[in-house]
Amino acid sequence: MNDDNQKISEIVPPIPRSGMEEEGYSLLLVDLLRLPKRFNFRRYRIDLLGFIAAWIFVLLILLLGYWVTRIGA
């Protein structure tokens, strides 16, 4: 087997490795069971930044809702 392939199982043929995984395009949810071996910020940068941005957006919406309810008080 070539080192440029990822072996998933005996049934499925090996998947070629991509250089994009190391550039931040690897999916955190897909690699969830292999995180202890493969985790680094560079690999999952896009997923983590998107998660943080989503939480900030949710907090802003909650603060806006709180502010709107305080207008009538």
What's the structural domain count of the chain?
A: 1
Q: Which residues pair with 28 in a beta bridge?
A: none
pLDDT > 90: percent of the chain: 25
pLDDT band at residue 16 under the 50/70/90 scheme? low
Q: Hey, what are 30's tokens?
A: 């897909």
Mean pLDDT computed over 43-63: 91
Q: Is the pTM of this model over 0.85?
A: no
Place 35 in a pLDDT band, splitting at 50, 70 and 90: confident
The answer, yes or no, to whether residue 60 has pLDDT greater than 90, is yes
Of 63, 59, 62, 8, the C-alpha closest to 30 is 8
- Residue 1, pLDDT score: 45
Residues spanned by the domain of 41: 5-71
Q: Identify whether the C-beta of residue 69 lies closer than 8 Å to the C-beta of residue 62.
A: no
